[in-house]
Structure 1
Amino acid sequence: MLGGEAHGHASLHDDCEGHGPIGHLDPRTRLVAAGLFALMVVSRDQIWPLVLAVGLALAAALLARLRVLPTLRRMLAMDGFMVAAVALLPFTVPGDPAFSAFGLTGSGEGLHQAALILLKANAVVLMLLALVGSMNTIALGHALARLGLPCKLVQLFLFTVRYLDLLHREYARLRTAMKARAFTMGTNRHTWQSVGYLFGMLMVRSLERSDRILAAMRLRGFDGHFPCLEEPSRFGRPDGLFALASAASVVLMMSQG
């Protein structure tokens, strides 16, 4: 049921999905490697280990064969937010003066902290896109369960991923219907009233959809667990090699710090 209902072959980020060697690894290996990498990166406070981490993330993205343009768009969107968030650090963190702009003096320590934050964010997000973002959502859910995550949390994750997509499609249909009636966004009362009707109808249709989904699941004998329709992946030689490479990368980053 889950494979048909949740479109199990869709990845978390379809536009960034790749089909490289990383895609053949056990999902558990990819999850553990991504988690350890993120923990190691956020614990570093020197520049060179983080530059190395960004290089490792780029290598993982190449191995995952992520699509270049969608991945760049995601990274640039994040960097735009991050730059805006850390832009004031050089002027608010005390330290030795390094430069001046608009009558304000920026400290070298503030620049250092801003660079650390940007490098950490880019390394972690790019590695997550390479190891987790291109992963089959159903495989990800089953991998989390096999790693010991509580079953109810896994089910909540799977339902959330699937039905947020359904709600978005329902919203898109309603917006298309409004455009077909020559509706255009504005700042007048009619616009606000129409937007209110839009979200109200979205809630009504969501409730109706949830009732249909519940009835369909009961008819299929849902007992609180999602059966895995595919053969569970096993830890093999490629996973062992990848685990060794990941461990060596972690040791290398620690030695640089």
Structure 2
Amino acid sequence: MSDLRFGERARLLPAARHATIKLIIVLLLIVTAVCTPVSWWPLWGAILLIEVGLLIRNPPDSRFWWPRLPVFVLFLGSVALSIPLSQHFEQGWLRAAMIFERGMLAFLATTWLTTVLTPLELIHVLRRWKMPPFLVESLAFMLRYLNLLSTERKTLQQARAARAGKKTGLITAWKTSAYIIATVLVRAFDRAERIYLAMKARGWKGL
């Protein structure tokens, strides 16, 4: 039995080491991008080339990430423009460009990380790094709930589409989306309550 456990640990050790290296690479890229002063701007270009190379080697799911890229760019651009806007567009353009550049580099690094690192591997790495147990367990619950909520949302959308049987207008689509979101949230709160009561019945007293 001990030999079996030793063999299993030996098999899982390289995977855990690779996951740790991937997370360290992303953290180094983000920290370097954030801490690089304007006078060292060529370093931003080098980081961008590295991230583009990583994304080319491990391309993300285009159906998931690229539709969200314009939303992130719009949000980041509005945050960056708030600085020159507060100064009547007379100053602050350099700082706005820095915020936008650093945000995009962090976004690209995070996109690559989600492509090469599964949520379970991330949880294992954080536990190996002795992160606060409350933080790790909360993150694990959140990731689990995101998958459940996504599954329930798809199920409700399919059920509504099967009942409708035809295309609906924009107002009806908004009403349907609001109904689906409310239903998913109510089910999520109910499931959270049942999970908490079950864990409490088993003697769980928190972290």
In structure 2, the residue matched to 1:37 is 29
CA separation of 1:185 and 1:161: change in aligned 2, threshold 3 A:
farther
In structure 2, the residue matched to 1:67 is 60
- Report the CA distance between 1:141 and its aligned residue: 0.2
In structure 2, the residue matched to 1:54 is 48
In structure 2, the residue matched to 1:27 is 19
Percentage of identical aligned residues: 22
TM-score, normalising length: structure 1 = 0.55
One-letter code of the match for 2:93? L
CA separation of 1:61 and 1:159: change in aligned 2, threshold 3 A:
same
| Aligned counterparts, 1:177-196, within 5 A | 177-182=159-164
In structure 1, the residue matched to 2:81 is 87
- Report the CA distance between 1:173 and its aligned residue: 2.2
Contact 1:75 1:126 in 2 (8 A): no
- Report the CA distance between 1:60 and its aligned residue: 2.6
- Report the CA distance between 1:37 and its aligned residue: 2.4
In structure 1, the residue matched to 2:99 is 117
1:170 corresponds to 2:164: no
Contact 2:126 2:136 in 1 (8 A): yes
In structure 2, the residue matched to 1:10 is none
One-letter code of the match for 1:37? L
TM-score, normalising length: structure 2 = 0.66
| Aligned counterparts, 1:123-162, within 5 A | 123-162=105-144
Contact 1:31 1:132 in 2 (8 A): no
- Report the CA distance between 1:155 and its aligned residue: 1.8
CA distance in 2, matches of 1:199, 1:122: 30
- Report the CA distance between 1:135 and its aligned residue: 0.6
One-letter code of the match for 1:45? P
- Report the CA distance between 1:204 and its aligned residue: 4.8
CA distance in 2, matches of 1:211, 1:91: 45
Select the structure with the greater relative contact order (CA < 8 A; seq sep ≥ 6): 1
Deviations 1:199-244 (A, max 9, x none): 55435533554577679989xx9989xxxxxxxxxxxxxxxxxxxx
Which ranges in structure 1 are unaligned for 5 or more consecutive residues? 1-22, 95-105, 225-257
Contact 1:54 1:119 in 2 (8 A): no
Deviations 1:52-110 (A, max 9, x none): 222222223234x123745544444322322233335445448xxxxxxxxxxx54x53
Residue 26 of structure 1 aligns to a residue whose secondary structure is helix
Aligned length: 186
- Report the CA distance between 1:167 and its aligned residue: 1.7
CA separation of 1:30 and 1:171: change in aligned 2, threshold 3 A:
same
